[in-house]
Structure formats: C-alpha cells, structure tokens
C-alpha cells in the first residue's frame, strides 16, 4: 500500500500502511543484515500474529525469536522493562540486532524503551497491532513506562527505523479496542485538520463497524497528520504538545482509576470532552464543536463521561503531569475545528478543568 515518511534528518523513517506482514522481511533486509531479530510481544497478540511475522522474517533470512511480556497496561512498568533488558542481555543481543515491537501501545512503549536503553540503543521497528498504536503510539518516538506516580513518567524520545502497520491485524481487535483507537483519530481531526474531522463524521458508521477500507484510510490520514507534527517538533518543544489534547484530563482519570483499569483511548475521549467544554467556557471555540465532538464519540462507541472517581485522586494524579512546571500545566484547547493552541493553566485552573469531568457513566468506559 502506501509509504509515508517521518522527516527527521538522519532519524527519518518510513511508516508503511500494509495489508499484512508479507514483505516485512524484505523491507528489513534493506535496512539490516540478516541475522537474529527479537520480536517483543504479549501472549494474546503472539497467538494471533506472531506466526506471520516470523514467517516473513524467515523468508528474508532473519532468525526471528520472540520474548513475551504478560498482557496489559499494568505490565508497562519498570519491572517488565528490567526483565526484558536482562533477557536480551542474557541472550547475547548485539548492537545491530533489530528489536521488533509487535502489539498495541503498551508493547510499543515498553519494547521501545527496552530498545532505547539496551546497549545504549538497539534498532527499533514498530509493528503496531491496535488501531491506537497504528495512528498514534508507534509513530513519533515516545517510549516509556508507567510508575506509581503517573503515566509514562520514565521514558525517552527514541525513533523507530520503520513502522509497519498491517491493517489485517485490526480484524482480530475487539470492538472496544477499535473504539479506543478512534479516540486518537478523532483527536487529530479536532486539533489539526478540519476536513479530516468532517470526513470522520461522514465515515463514522463504517469506522465503528470495522470496515477495513475505512480503517486503512483513517490510519493513513492519521499517520500523515502525526508525521507532519512530529517532523516539525520531535521533542515537544512547541507544536507537538497539541497532540496532548484530551490527555491532561485523560491521564488524570487513567491514573486515578489505577493503571490498566480503564482504556487509555476511552479516558482520552472523556478528557477531550472536558477540555473542549473548558475551551467553550473560555469563549475560545463555538459550542457547536463540542456538540459535534460528543456526537462523533458516541457514534463510534466511545464514552463521554467517566465513572465516579474521588476528586482528590484526580487532583493528585494531575500533580504528576509531565507537562507541569512551577505548578503550571500547558494544555491544548481547540480554537476552531482543526486548530488548537496551547494555554498555560494555573493550579486553580487545572482544578476547575478536572471539575468538568462528569462523574456519571452514560456509556461505559469498560465493556
């Protein structure tokens, strides 16, 4: 299918949106000398898709072997990272050995951080298998793990050398996971591309139903938008921060609930609603955008309200926001459809923002 490129000078790389893993081994042989290749995955994804990856590697002369980490956000932590790094070292990994992250955002972030830190950096290839990972986490080089203090507080910017999104993987993805990925797709429309947002409204039913053509289109467009943003601001010194729309509130909900209890994408959906409400209250954007956002989220099966969470837990979680400096948090708010700007929020304004998290569930965050 199509190749997109993240332009970052010597760290530039292709994002390939493909039907399946045929051709992956060939693409790797253009980048790495055939030899060992470590595929990091989890048991759920390995059962479904590891065979195809290993066959493709074998066909191109690579000796692919797998290392599995238990499934789930609760395992995206320092303990899993430590076990992975030590396993790679004990198995004699060498500087040029590619690490392939096969799975969703949890696997990509964890395996990416292991690749970034083992031997001061092993070549990384992202093989995203969830919609969320295809449209967001596999592209852009943010890798890391959670701690009890909050989400993704230990990590690095470490770009992959290739991203290979095999759309056929989405056929095995549960509906709620597909919806979670659509939250990040919708986010990109709200903050960066009004025409894309309109097109998402037109195709909402096909996307919600898991139509492969509609999903491939959404992945391609999302990667195009994200690649452009990351190409302008790799290390989030400025514009890249708009990608955090919905995440100040979303991360606070995720951490307050306990990592792994609520889906990241679902929390971002609720976060976008709360942050858009604040943008409307500040007079930054017309309330029609909020109405359209809520309608679109509901049409694709996403929640717009959170389960009841203690206010103190939300506030505590927001205290550890990476974007906080001297008590001030920089939050992106939409200022028109397809455009967001950054705003500096004082602690009391962050509290007000968190008070916008509606606490009664009309649509469940969990299935």
- What's the Cα-to-Cα distance from 128 to each of 18, 25, 58, 259, rounded to whole Å? 11, 16, 20, 21
Site for ligand NAD in 79-118 (CB under 6 A): 103-107, 109
Q: Tokens representing 223?
A: 């990667």
CA distance 319 to 34: 47
Site membership for ligand GLY, residue 243 (CB under 6 A): yes
CA distance 37 to 63: 6
Give all strands (DSSP E) within the chain, no chain letters. Answer: 2-6, 13-18, 36-41, 63-68, 99-103, 124-128, 142-147, 150-157, 162-166, 324-325, 328-336, 339-345
Which of 73, 184, 234, 278 does the annotation list as catalytic? 184
- What's the Cα-to-Cα distance from 152 to each of 113, 204, 266, 321, rounded to whole Å? 11, 30, 17, 10
322 is catalytic: no
For ligand GLY, give the closer residue by CB, 56 or 318. Answer: 318
Interface mask toward ligand GLY for 131-170; x: CB under 6 A: -----x---x-x----------------------------
For ligand NAD, give the closer residue by CB, 71 or 193. Answer: 71
Q: Which residue has the tokens 């971002």?
A: 268
Site membership for ligand GLY, residue 240 (CB under 6 A): yes
Which of 73, 177, 221, 236 does the annotation list as catalytic? 236
> Edge-to-edge strand order for the sheet containing 328-336?
324-325, 328-336, 339-345
244 is catalytic: yes
187 is catalytic: no
For ligand NAD, give the closer residue by CB, 280 or 332. Answer: 332
Site for ligand GLY in 290-309 (CB under 6 A): none
Which residues here bind ligand NAD, judged by CB under 6 A? 42, 44-45, 48, 71, 73, 76, 103-107, 109, 129-130, 132-133, 136-137, 140, 142, 151-152, 169, 172-173, 177, 180, 264-265
- Catalytically active residues are 120, 142, 184, 226, 236, 240, 244, 247, 251, 264
């Amino acid at each position: 299918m199509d190749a997109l490129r993240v332009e970052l000078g010597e760290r530039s790389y292709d994002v390939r949106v493909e039907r399946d893993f045929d051709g992956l081994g060939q693409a790797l042989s253009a980048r790495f000398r055939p030899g060992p290749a470590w595929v990091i995955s989890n048991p759920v994804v390995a059962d479904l898709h590891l065979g195809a990856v290993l066959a493709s590697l074998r066909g191109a002369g690579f000796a692919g072997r797998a290392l599995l980490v238990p499934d789930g956000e609760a395992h995206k932590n320092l303990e899993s990272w430590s076990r992975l790094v030590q396993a790679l070292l004990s198995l004699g990994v060498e500087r040029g050995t590619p690490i392939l992250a096969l799975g969703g955002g949890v696997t990509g972030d964890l395996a990416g951080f292991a690749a970034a830190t083992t031997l001061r950096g092993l070549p990384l290839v992202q093989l995203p298998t969830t919609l969320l990972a295809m449209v967001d986490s596999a592209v852009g080089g943010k890798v890391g793990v959670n701690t009890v203090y909050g989400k993704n507080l230990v990590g690095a910017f470490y770009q992959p050398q290739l991203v290979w999104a095999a759309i056929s993987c989405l056929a095995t993805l549960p509906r709620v996971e597909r919806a979670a990925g659509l939250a990040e797709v919708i986010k990109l429309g709200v903050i960066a591309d009004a025409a894309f947002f309109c097109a998402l409204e037109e195709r909402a039913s096909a996307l919600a139903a898991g139509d492969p053509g509609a999903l491939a289109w959404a992945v391609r467009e999302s990667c195009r938008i994200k690649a452009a943003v990351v190409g302008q601001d790799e290390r989030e010194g400025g514009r890249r921060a708009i990608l955090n729309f919905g995440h100040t509130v979303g991360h606070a909900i995720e951490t307050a609930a306990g990592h792994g209890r609520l889906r990241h994408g679902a929390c971002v959906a609720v976060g976008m609603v709360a942050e858009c409400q604040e943008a409307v209250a500040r007079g930054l954007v017309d309330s029609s955008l909020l109405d359209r956002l809520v309608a679109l989220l509901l049409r694709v099966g996403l929640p717009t309200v959170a389960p009841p969470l203690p206010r103190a837990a939300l506030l505590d979680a927001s205290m550890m926001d990476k974007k906080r400096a001297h008590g001030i948090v920089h939050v992106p708010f939409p200022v028109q459809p397809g455009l967001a700007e950054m705003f500096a929020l004082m602690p009391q304004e962050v509290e007000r923002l968190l008070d916008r998290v509606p606490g009664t569930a009309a649509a469940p965050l969990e299935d």
